[in-house]
């Protein structure tokens, strides 16, 4: 949740920079507590069948928050199942035909082999041998055709099963599921409304992990590193919170358009983000806090 801070606000924050404390290196900066929200978008198109959550509700990772209608997908799935059953019957028939063709070919080859021996002994005519040779060739061609047909059926079945997997994924994606443990911040749509793929449905954030952005002057920036420890305190809250820097801006805010002088350099500030554990939920979004590095 990005807060837009006007230049005057940043400069005011800098004016609140406290003097060095007794340890010789601690400065106080002002900021506001924030979170990194997750926006859950629809992954299917259709009417929202159920969406019974409310802003402020606690949700858990994997929890089903809502459901987009899947009637068409379910009908498509049944049609695919019927086509698969038909292919199963065709495949079984093709297997039986192949088994029969193999047996017939084996018999024809055996008969041809015996006939060739008889021809050599004068017990059979060459015409009979040629007829049997032709029959073997016909049986071989028939078996090859049946095997090709079987492969075609197997390929159709594989393609259909892949299509069924896609349908199953689409049915699964019609469910609106929370990817994290958190709290519902904003709900954008309601039961009965139409959703499309990519439509933002709900915004969730993990409030046990807060962030705060402060702005430090150029003169202090060299002492701030990713991982630098910070202490965060809020008005009305007795305890303070420990955090650490996880992001430092690579560009200065409000850089003067003219060439920098020694005087104008001190007006440069850099954004610094700090992650603050908030397991008890004491810190709230938008709460003003003081940060010491």
Task: Give the pLDDT confidence score for residue 27 in this predicted structure.
Answer: 65
Question: How confident is the model over 236-278, as pLDDT tens digits?
Answer: 888 999 999 999 998 887 654 444 444 444 578 899 999 999 9
- Examine the pLDDT at 202 and tell me if it is beyond 90: yes
pLDDT at 258: 44
| Residues 66, 176 contacting (CB under 8 angstroms) | yes
Ramachandran region of residue 226, left (φ > 0), alpha (ψ -120 to 50) or beta?
beta
Dihedral of CA 155/161/165/166: which sign? positive
pLDDT above 80 (res 1)? no
> Does pLDDT of 128 surpass 70?
yes
pLDDT value at 143 more than 70: yes
Please determine, for residue 8, whether its predicted confidence score (pLDDT) is greater than 60: no
Q: What is the pLDDT of residue 256?
A: 47
Mean pLDDT along residues 124-149: 93
Lowest mean pLDDT among 37-46, 88-97, 252-261: 252-261
Q: Dihedral of CA 21/26/31/35: which sign?
A: negative
Per-residue pLDDT band at 28 (split at 50, 70, 90): confident
- Mean pLDDT in the chain? 87
Q: How far, in Å, CA of 193 to CA of 174, rounded?
A: 14
pLDDT range class, residue 123, cuts 50, 70, 90: confident
What pLDDT is attached to residue 179? 95
pTM above 0.75, yes or no: no
């Amino acid at each position: 949740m990005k807060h837009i801070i006007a230049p005057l606000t940043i400069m005011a924050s800098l004016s609140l920079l406290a003097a060095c404390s007794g340890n010789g290196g601690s400065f106080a900066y002002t900021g506001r507590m924030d979170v990194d929200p997750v926006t859950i978008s629809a992954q299917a198109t259709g009417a929202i069948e159920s969406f019974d959550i409310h802003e402020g509700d606690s949700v858990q990772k994997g929890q089903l928050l809502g459901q987009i209608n899947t009637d068409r997908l379910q009908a498509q799935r049944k049609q695919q199942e019927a086509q698969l059953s038909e292919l199963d019957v065709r495949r079984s028939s093709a297997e039986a035909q192949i088994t029969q063709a193999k047996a017939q070919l084996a018999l024809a080859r055996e008969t041809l082999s015996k006939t060739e021996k008889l021809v050599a002994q004068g017990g059979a005519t060459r015409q009979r041998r040629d007829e049997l040779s032709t029959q073997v060739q016909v049986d071989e061609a028939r078996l090859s055709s049946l095997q090709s047909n079987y492969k075609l059926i197997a390929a159709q079945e594989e393609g259909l099963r892949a299509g069924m997997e896609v349908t199953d994924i689409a049915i699964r994606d019609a469910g609106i599921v929370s990817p994290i443990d958190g709290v519902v911040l904003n709900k954008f749509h309601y039961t009965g409304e139409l959703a499309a793929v990519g439509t933002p449905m709900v915004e969730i954030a993990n409030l046990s992990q807060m962030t705060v952005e402060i702005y430090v002057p150029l003169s202090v920036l060299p002492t701030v590193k990713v991982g630098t420890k910070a202490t965060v305190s809020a008005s009305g809250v007795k305890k303070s919170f420990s955090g650490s820097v996880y992001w430092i801006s690579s560009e200065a805010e409000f850089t003067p358009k003219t060439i920098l002088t020694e005087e104008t350099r001190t007006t440069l500030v850099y954004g610094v983000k700090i992650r603050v554990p908030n397991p008890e939920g004491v810190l709230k979004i938008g709460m003003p806090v003081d940060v010491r590095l």
